[in-house]
């Protein structure tokens, strides 16, 4: 197998700070006293609780069921007793209905899911159902239900199955940790997906700052028809659209999905979860996350049970020192949160505690039209023009400059020497354009009705 090189045009280099955790062992987080399971840890309809207060649950037992096709169930990551079902603070900043389970520390396993070491005896439909029932979502952070992604619509064909291990975000090293510790599981998961999709070739993209991980993956994948790409270390190489561009040369058309150009992209952690669900019969109840930043005493990579209060995890890292910002996810696209009193959810790839030096709160100055945002934008937009239009409430102009194609990767804001809030202004423009479009559609509809009458 030869390792190929590839990348995309545009983008920027970050101050990665990956050395804070890179190469460290993955520690297993101590099980918490109680876990908090929000019914919404995925994109799509929230799950519906199927247990009541006072019920005894086992580890891996389903506690909330999917409500529709684009939805997944939720499983308890401990054994114990349900002590409350009430709204709790969710990492998205709102209060969301959550199931709170008191841990009896026995880890009594649930017997409802069966291992299927010979998965090839099963049909694609059955495997997809196992993936759904195991509560698997995209673990790169988007948390889109995986069984939906793998249900290829009629008339579409998958030509490129791409395993995303770029991990282009700064600070995060959890995908690297996963590749170093369980490359065989990842490849097994990839094999299952290839079987489900009925294809015999796959692609893996890894940024070239993870040389050891690339070697590990090459070693594990040598029996399989897989092309491994060593991608240039450049942000946002791991963006779905840009890893597709780098590996297949295809561009996902504006407003379309990867499958429209015959591509399916999965995160490495998702592949591992698929292997565990199908072959070992284990639902998604734990994940590896990076707990890092200069605002925490000992940065670590940990295997954490879903629902563990973040406070509990931070305590195991020695607590925070002079942290000013708490971020869920990576520093470029993650969400900052005012409180660390939320649980670890399925999509929680990183928990960052950044100090004042790292966050740079210097105020925005006048745009000097240096064009750095233009050359950094991976979507080839003119961020400064959209941002200025947005600030001036000229959303029509923002739309003309293709504001809706912005992927909010943050590269423009990162490079801006005037420290302008480009992404923030872009978001305002996108929100307003969507609102205007809706309004226009409503007016058109009303007019059509009137004409009928």
Partner 1 sequence: MDKLFIVSSSPHIRSNVSTQKIMRDVLIALTPAMIAGIIYFGIRALYLTVICVITCVLTEWLYDKIMHKKTTIDDLSAVVTGVLLAFNLPASASWWIAFVGSIFAILVVKQIFGGIGHNFVNPALAARAFLMTCWGARMTGGAFIPVDAVTSATPLGILKEKLAENLPSYMNLFLGTNVYGCIGEVSKIALIAGGIYLICRRVITWKIPVIYIGTVFVLSLIFGQDPLFQILAGGLMLGAIFMATDYTTSPITSKGQIIYAVGCGLITVIIRQYGAYPEGVSYSILLMNVAAPLIDRYTKPRVFGIEKVKKLKKRSEVV
Contact status: 206 vs partner 1 (CB under 8 A): no
Q: Shortest approach of partner 1 to residue 7 CB, angstroms?
A: 14
* Orientation of helix 422-452 relative to helix 383-391, angle to 10°: 70
* Orientation of helix 174-197 relative to helix 124-133, angle to 10°: 150
Closer Cβ to partner 1, 119 or 160, answer by number: 160
Partners of 3 in the beta sheet? 228
Provide the residue count of the chain.
453
Q: Shortest approach of partner 1 to residue 137 CB, angstroms?
A: 21
Helix-strand-coil split of the chain, %, nearest 5: 35, 25, 45
Closer Cβ to partner 1, 89 or 113, answer by number: 89
Inter-CA distances, 438 with 31, 394, 396, Å: 47, 17, 14
**From residue 403 to residue 442, what is the string marking binding to partner 1 with x (rule CB under 8 A)?**
--x--x-x--xxxxxxx-x-xx--x---------------
Q: Shortest approach of partner 1 to residue 252 CB, angstroms?
A: 5
Q: Shortest approach of partner 1 to residue 153 CB, angstroms?
A: 19
Contact status: 294 vs partner 1 (CB under 8 A): no
Pairing type for strands 160-165 and 263-267 reads parallel
Contact status: 299 vs partner 1 (CB under 8 A): no
Q: Which one of residues 223, 362, 449, 452 is an interface residue with partner 1 (CB under 8 A)?
A: 362
Contact status: 97 vs partner 1 (CB under 8 A): no
Q: Shortest approach of partner 1 to residue 172 CB, angstroms?
A: 12
d(CA 170, CA 252): 25
d(CA 286, CA 307): 9
Kindly identify the residues of this chain, within the stretch 221-260, that bind partner 1 according to CB under 8 A.
241, 245, 251-254, 256
d(CA 146, CA 408): 23
Closer Cβ to partner 1, 16 or 229, answer by number: 16
Q: For residue 248, how many C-alpha atoms fall within 13 Å in the half-sphere facing its CB?
A: 24
Q: Shortest approach of partner 1 to residue 374 CB, angstroms?
A: 5
Closer Cβ to partner 1, 123 or 417, answer by number: 417
345 DSSP 8-state letter: -
Q: Which one of residues 335, 436, 441, 442 is an interface residue with partner 1 (CB under 8 A)?
A: 335
d(CA 130, CA 238): 27
Evaluate the omega torsion of the peptide bond into residue 236 and state whether it is cis, within 30 degrees of 0: yes
145 DSSP 8-state letter: B
- The contact set with partner 1 (CB under 8 A) reads 12, 14-15, 170, 241, 245, 251-254, 256, 311, 314, 319-320, 323-327, 331-340, 352, 354, 358-362, 365-372, 374-375, 378-382, 384, 401-402, 405, 408, 410, 413-419, 421, 423-424, 427
């Amino acid at each position: 197998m030869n390792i190929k090189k590839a990348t995309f045009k545009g983008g920027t280099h970050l101050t990665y700070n990956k050395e804070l955790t890179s190469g460290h062992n993955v520690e297993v987080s101590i099980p918490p006293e109680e876990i908090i399971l929000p019914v919404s840890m995925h994109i799509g309809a929230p799950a519906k609780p199927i247990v009541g207060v006072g019920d005894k649950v086992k580890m891996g037992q389903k506690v909330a069921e999917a409500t529709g096709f684009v939805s997944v169930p939720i499983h308890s990551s401990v054994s114990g007793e349900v002590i409350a079902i009430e709204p709790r603070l969710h990492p998205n900043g709102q209060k969301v209905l959550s199931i709170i389970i008191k841990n009896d520390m026995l880890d009594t396993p649930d017997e409802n899911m069966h291992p299927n070491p010979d998965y090839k005896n099963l049909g694609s439909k059955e495997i997809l159902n196992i993936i759904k029932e195991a509560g698997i979502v995209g673990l790169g952070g988007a948390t889109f239900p995986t069984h939906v992604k793998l249900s290829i619509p009629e008339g579409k064909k998958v030509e490129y199955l791409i395993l995303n291990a770029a991990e282009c975000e700064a600070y995060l090293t959890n995908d690297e940790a996963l590749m170093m510790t369980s490359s065989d599981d990842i490849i097994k998961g990839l094999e299952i997906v290839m079987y489900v999709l009925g294809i015999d070739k796959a692609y893996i993209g890894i940024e070239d700052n993870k040389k050891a991980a690339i070697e590990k993956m090459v070693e594990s994948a040598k029996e399989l028809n897989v092309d491994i790409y060593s991608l240039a270390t450049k942000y946002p190489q791991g963006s779905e659209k840009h890893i597709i561009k780098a590996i297949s040369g295809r561009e996902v058309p504006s407003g379309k999905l990867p499958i429209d150009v015959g591509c399916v992209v999965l995160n490495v952690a998702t592949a591992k979860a698929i292997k565990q669900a199908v072959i070992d019969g284990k639902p998604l109840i734990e994940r590896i996350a990076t707990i890092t930043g200069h605002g925490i005493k000992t940065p670590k990579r940990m295997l954490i049970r879903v629902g563990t209060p973040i406070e509990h995890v931070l305590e195991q890292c020695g607590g925070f020192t002079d942290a000013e910002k708490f971020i869920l996810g990576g520093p470029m696209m993650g969400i900052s949160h005012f409180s660390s009193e939320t649980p670890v959810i399925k999509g929680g790839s990183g928990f960052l505690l950044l100090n004042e030096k790292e966050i740079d709160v210097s105020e925005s100055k006048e745009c000097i039209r240096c064009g750095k945002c233009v050359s950094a934008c991976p979507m080839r937009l003119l961020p400064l023009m959209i941002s200025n239009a947005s600030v001036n409430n000229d959303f029509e102009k923002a739309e003309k400059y293709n504001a809706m194609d912005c992927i909010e990767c943050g590269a423009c804001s990162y490079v801006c020497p005037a420290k302008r809030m480009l992404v923030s202004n872009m978001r305002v423009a996108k929100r307003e354009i969507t609102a205007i479009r809706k309004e226009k559609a409503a007016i058109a509809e009303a007019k059509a009705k009137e004409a009928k009458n």
